[in-house]
Chain A
Amino acid sequence: MRQLDASNNDPQKNGLTRELALTGYRRMLRIRWFEEEAMRRATAGEFSGMHSSSGQEAAIVGACLALRDDDYITGTHRSHGHPIGKGADLKPLMAELYGKSTGICKGRGGSMHLADRRVGIIGESAIVGGGIPLATGAGLSIQVRGTDQVSLCFFGDGAANQGTFGESLNLAAIWKLPVIFFCENNLYAISTSVARSHGQPDIARRAAGFNMPGVIVDGQDLGQVHGVTAEAVQRARSGEGPTLIEAKTYRFEEHCHNLQVPIAYRGAEELEHYKSQRDPLQLHRALLLKDAVTEIAIASIEQEVAAEVAEAVRFARESPLPDPQDVYEYLFSQPIHYPPEAVP
């Protein structure tokens, strides 16, 4: 098990070129502003709740930047970040939140399931741990078909306590499947802390039990996450098998929009510390400036992202709702349904 520290922050070493660093900033910002706008729209009653990834952007984008367009990803109920981090168009994602027919899932999936197949996503599972076997199966498929793709599985600290975690890591280890098990450890499964729910709070240490490498990485550091993931991707592509990566990160919002948690499960100071000192966007922005990227260049990215988010909302609002008569559509590959029952 390796644990990376501040000495691993060299962007060059992490393979983070200037261009990738800028793309990374743009994608993190797209996630942050998409979700902040979505939270405002949800609060205004335009659609129902959502799970925000705010605070976890560097973990998501750092991992996605290490992947190719033809690689596979599975994600979680906190599903907005993964497609956006992989470069998806915002309009169908926002339209899905509004339950519109132009939504990425035609209004059948919603906020917990923003799977965009065009960027390689093969499921955003709201059954905690449910996506881990799927990603493992994509790895099996790659091996059988003999391509050099990889499969990356996003899951949370909560999922590490599901049976599928141990089962799937074992399956991937047996056959050296090209899978990257990527844990976004945001420290809380809703209100239950890792400290209260894990015998071994360093999830990556569990890799040893499956005879695969485990790495702990600072999930607020885009370059570090990218470097570690790129290394795991390289191992997977060259047939050396799976890697377990644990990105220590933090969730800025509540587990879910509109969820009132009646207990103080995390302290105000802790939250404030992460928001003020450990915000991945602020940290990365500072690094860009240090790397002689100009304020003007950054501001130009920010303007573009703001316009993109505004355009996504406009598109979503103006899109038509799905027709209730079409509710059986996409149930089967051919239009059959059972029992033959009229739509009320």
Chain B
Amino acid sequence: MNSLQSVGKPRELTYLNAIVEAQREEMLRDERVILIGENIDIYGGSSLFDTFDEKRLRNVPISENSFTGMGVGAALTGLRPIVDLTIASFVYLASDQIINQAAKLRYMTGGQLSVPIVFRACTYYNICNAAQHSDRPYPFFMNVPGLKIVAPATPRDMKGLLKAAVRDDDPVLVFEDSNLWTKKEPVPDDPDFLVPIGKADVKRIGSDITLVSIAGCLPRVMLAADALQADGISAEVIDLRTLVPLDGETLLTSLAKTGRVVIADNSHRVGSVASEVSAVLSEEGFQYLRAPVRRVTTPAVQIPYSAALERPLYPNKERIVAAAKSLLQQDRAR
């Protein structure tokens, strides 16, 4: 610990280093925590090999379904594994073990078993990787009871939520975003710093409209909020952070204040996270709505290779601003 921290000035950490630091701290704190993944000696966990050995750092062959299930089996028998599935498109190969075993075993054994496991998956989109490496599959897993799902968008939240996930007694999917790897901000180095699963974060207070940001949309949503501010529109920004369980209370409180909601979500439009948030707000907050809920999502089309085709697909400042303004105009027209 250096002198800067002791006077309460936390050092800056990148999003990527927040992931490594969270794992290192939890592995130091609890010997039951192990890391399972492909090429972890080169990528994600390389620096962990300075501290831990191959007993707890398991570099695995390309067998996603079985090494994921192996993690589940270890979780059932006294360990708290972190399974790094690397690119989120590979989660499909592991999905049988995540859905049919991890999510179900506590329930279908009437609570005899517990599955304290973390599945990490990184979304790599908007970098010309084409359709089989660019998925943002968060909403698939929202349809599976028994899984908790977090998608942190800042280094602080990544560290705090990943640590909370490791300490949780249920399976938690942690979605990372490679576009955020180099983002930096002050991050506490208290080894017990946690961000609670299930709590959204109000990033900016506003009064005219609520912008709900999902996962890696946050930087673009903040840019949109700035642009709206410049036009005299006060936007409240909520970073959802946890997708399951959804923080309906924070969403509804904001809606009650602003009466208008735009949801930005990188996942494909049909059955998106935004769809679920929209449904909850429409059902439970209809009385507050001064205009329809608007989703800004990725169209239901495969991710193409060419940047010229790919880049415009994701929610960006312009689309979010346009959606917000259209709601305000509709409202005035009424």
Contact = CB atoms under 8 A, between A and B. Distances in A.
Contacts of A175: 58
B315 interface: no
B74 A106 contact: no
B106 A105 contact: no
Contact of B63 (A103, A108, A171): A171
Contacts of A103: 110
B301 interface: no
A105 B74 contact: no
Contacts of A139: 73
Given A130-B101, A134-B101, A138-B73, A338 B244 contact: yes
B96 A127 contact: yes
B110 A108 contact: yes
Contacts of B169: 333-334
Of A133, A137, A167, the most chain B CB neighbours within 10 A belong to: A137
Contacts of A332: 106, 146, 148, 170
B92 interface: no
A107 B106 CA distance: 13
B96 A137 contact: no
A193 interface: no
Contact of A133 (B56, B66, B244, B280): B66
A144 B57 CA distance: 10
Contact of A132 (B66, B74, B78): B66
Nearest to A336: B245
A137 B145 contact: no
Contacts of A109: 108-110
A137 B75 contact: yes
Contact of A136 (B66, B101, B110, B244): B66
Contact of A167 (B56, B66, B107, B244): B66
A105 B108 CA distance: 6
B109 A108 contact: yes
B246 interface: yes
A113 B108 contact: yes
Contact of A142 (B63, B77, B111, B248): B77
A82 B149 CA distance: 34
B73 A144 contact: no
Contacts of A127: 96, 100-101
A104 B113 CA distance: 12
Interface in A288-344: 329-334, 336-340
Contacts of B109: 104-105, 108-109, 113, 115, 117, 123, 330
Contact of A107 (B66, B73, B110, B245): B110
A164 B112 contact: no
B110 A134 contact: no
B109 to A, nearest CB: 5
A331 B295 CA distance: 30
Nearest to A117: B112
A333 B146 CA distance: 9
Contacts of B113: 115, 117, 122-123
Interface of B: 34, 55-56, 58, 60-61, 63, 65-79, 81, 96-97, 100-101, 105-114, 145-146, 148, 168-170, 198, 244-246, 248, 276, 280
20 contacts: A103-B110, A108-B109, A108-B110, A115-B113, A130-B100, A133-B73, A133-B97, A137-B71, A138-B76, A138-B77, A141-B77, A142-B77, A164-B69, A167-B66, A168-B63, A175-B58, A329-B111, A332-B146, A338-B145, A340-B248
Interface of A: 72, 74, 103-109, 113, 115-117, 122-123, 125, 127, 130, 132-145, 151, 163-164, 167-168, 170-171, 174-175, 329-334, 336-340
